[in-house]
Amino acid sequence: MAKYYDVHPDNPQRRTISSVAETIRSGGLVAYPTDSCYALGCQLGSRDGLARIRTIRRLDDGHHFTLVCQNFAQLGQFVHIDNDVFRAIKAATPGSYTFILPATKEVPRQLLHPKKKTVGVRIPDHTVTQALLAELGEPLLSSTLLLPDEEEPMTQGWEIKERLDHQVDAVVDSGDCGTEPTTVIDFSDGEAEIIRYGAGDAKNFE
């Protein structure tokens, strides 16, 4: 049965955030809010967490997982960014964007796109997510909480708790966080290619 955490959206309770972080460090899988709908998250090196996300979402090997990072310095440890791409991404973060970039050796092999050796990265503009990332001190391995055969991601913490009670270890609820997933931009070849239009304004990348 999943633990349910009711977190203040503007002033997240430190003790609660610490408890969620400890669940993640212990190998747990959590559903948590971001600036563009809910996501499933686990520790970066958790093979079990990765497998559980794949099972819940029925994902194939070609799916790009996302490393949700606290800041640009952290993001830079996990992907290769040239100067032009650096400026474009820096101007758009934090925000509702996911960027696909060539991965560094810091990224576990099982997270990489099998052919491109790329990974998704993002820096969310969300108080609760940022508090959790600060407590963890490392990125969250994440995927949008979009269930199979459904067109929109889940948005209500209580509903997630009800439906995924025996599939996740914790649900973090800080109120509404929207239904639109991130805008996804592929920079793996050095040029911006918009893979998905979403919550982030894509006009600067077109």
Per-residue pLDDT tens over the stretch 109-127: 888 888 889 999 999 999 9
Q: Report DSSP state, residue 103.
A: B
Q: Which residue ranges form the domains of the chain, and what is each CATH number?
A: 3-205 (3.90.870.10)
Query: Residue 62: pLDDT above 80?
Result: no
Scanning the structure block, which residue is given the tokens 């499933």? 40
Per residue in 71-123, pLDDT tens? 999 999 999 999 999 999 999 999 999 999 999 999 998 888 888 899 999 99
User: 160: burial class by Cβ within 10 Å (0-12, 13-18, 19+)?
Assistant: buried
- Computed on alpha carbons and rounded to an integer, the radius of gyration of the chain in Å comes to 16
Nearest to 179 by CA among 35, 26, 31: 35
Residue 42 in tokens? 């686990």
Query: Residue 194: pLDDT above 90?
Result: yes
Nearest to 28 by CA among 4, 9, 52: 52
Helix, strand, coil share (%) of the chain residues, nearest 5: 30, 25, 50
**What is the pLDDT, as a whole number, of residue 114?**
80
Handedness of CA 95, 46, 39, 28 (dihedral sign): negative
Residue 172 in tokens? 């973090």
